[in-house]
Amino acid sequence: MSTSQFPLPDVGEGLTEAEIVSWRVAPGEAIEVNQVIVEIETAKSLVELPSPFTGVVDALLVEVGQTVAVGTPIISVTTEATATATADAAAPAGDAAGGAAGGAAGGARTASAAEPVIADTAASVTEEDKPGAVLVGYGISGSASSRRRRGAGKPPPARVVSTGPGQAASASAVIAKPPIRKLAKDLGVDLATVTATGEGGETTREDVVRHASQASVFQNLETPVWGEEREERIPVRGVRKAIAQAMVASAFSAPHVSLFVDVDATRTMEFVRRLKASTDFAGVKVSPLLVVAKAMIWAVRRNPTVNAQWTDSEIVVKHFVNLGIAAATPRGLVVPNIKDAHALSLLDLARAIEQLTITARDGRTSPAEMAGGTVTITNIGVFGMDAGTPILNPGEVGIVALGTIKQKPWVVDGEVRPRFVTTLAASFDHRVVDGDVASRFLADVASIIEEPALLLD
């Protein structure tokens, strides 16, 4: 028997510190390899850390809410010399006795303390059994089989079968994993009203997001009541600290220049309606943001310096597009990006945007997903805003803000007609992007919004 400490690992490139959000285990509790033991918050995302040990929790070395540096020990675990000893420590006395008898009959198999305990009888692995996060060095592959720990003594949780695929389940018949339930709670969605499309009537992330209207996701429908305290002090850490540092660095290092243009988006709205009715896009969320994203990729090819990076000695022009999508989440602003977006079809781009949005709103965007962006789009129209002056994502030289799309009087062929109109706003790093290039780029994006058929050229 020995005691081992687990230091906070670097779960992303260059991570220096993280905040302890919640402990999933307690002192005296038996744990296994790859069991999630703690949830931490890095600069931009929530990460679940699995245990590298099998044993019994000796002590939690860091309190919830505390920020610690990478390499700091956060938990102490007493590891057992054999797999049987570990299982017996975790099992009730009766189960331990039964396990000992079985071991005497069949012979005990020893294992190192770092190995997962393997039972004699295999059990199938459900999605709930899979670890929430796997770190390099002691993780398991997705194809590896798993077996239940000897002496667990716990029957599997009862699962209620829904009324059938494609049907809304009742409140007592909802099948959804804990992360999906949390997502539904964050979005204000009643799972009992969601149409489940997953296997066996399970509710998926896509089902929840599709059910919630984009405009009402973060809408505050109630006015909160002030408490007795006259002030509230919020520590600057985690996501808020990262946002502040990034915005200050961008605003005061890159000379911003902003442009605005009003656009007739009527044909874009018609195009979006046709896509929603298409069988090819069945089950995929489609919005005007998809058209704007595709338009930006097309405009970047025509104005490459918008897709560049400034250094003290050179301008690095990227011949690929990692398209950033600014996402307002319950935990703050994040800007994940779609890698090699220029190589995606319209359908694949729609799927990528949907998955990126789901991951961000679920608070599971990884640092790697936010690194390496080349140009960004922010959709302020979902909040009813017409226009704004967006601040550049650090390391990039161009960003476009899409305003709300609503009907306004518009002159068409000399006549005033009701048309769907939006405002595009864009900011550029004037060290890299000259006024003429910025203007041509935004005009190219606007031309696609006015006539999406140009994307087919």
> What is the three-class DSSP state of 383?
helix
Beta strands 67-69; 36-41: pairing state: unpaired
**Angle at CA 72, nearest 5°, toward 66 and 75?**
80
> What is the three-class DSSP state of 46?
strand
Where b means 16+ CB within 10 Å and e means fewer, 253-287 reads ebeeebbebebbbbbbbebbeebeeeeebeebbbb
Are the C-beta atoms of 309 and 388 separated by less than 8 Å? no
What would the two tokens of residue 205 be?
Answer: 């992330």
Of 32, 50, 49, 31, nearest to 116 (Cα)?
A: 32
What would the two tokens of residue 434 be?
Answer: 């000259």
Are the C-beta atoms of 178 and 208 separated by less than 8 Å? no
Phi/psi at 455 (5° precision):
-65, -20
Order across the sheet with 55-60: list the strands.
Answer: 2-7, 73-79, 55-60, 30-31
Contacts of 328 (CB under 8 A, 6+ apart): 218
What distances in angstroms separate CA 105 from CA 110, 120, 230, 238, 391, one per listed residue? Answer: 15, 13, 69, 54, 70
List the alpha helices (DSSP H) in 282-327: 288-302
**Distance linking the first and last C-alpha atoms of the chain:** 70
Residue 307 CA to residue 341 CA, distance in Å, equals: 13
Phi/psi at 358 (5° precision):
-60, -45
Residues identified as active-site: 430
Contacts of 434 (CB under 8 A, 6+ apart): none
Are the C-beta atoms of 55 and 80 separated by less than 8 Å? yes
Of 432, 139, 144, 441, nearest to 302 (Cα)?
A: 441
Residue 91 CA to residue 22 CA, distance in Å, equals: 25
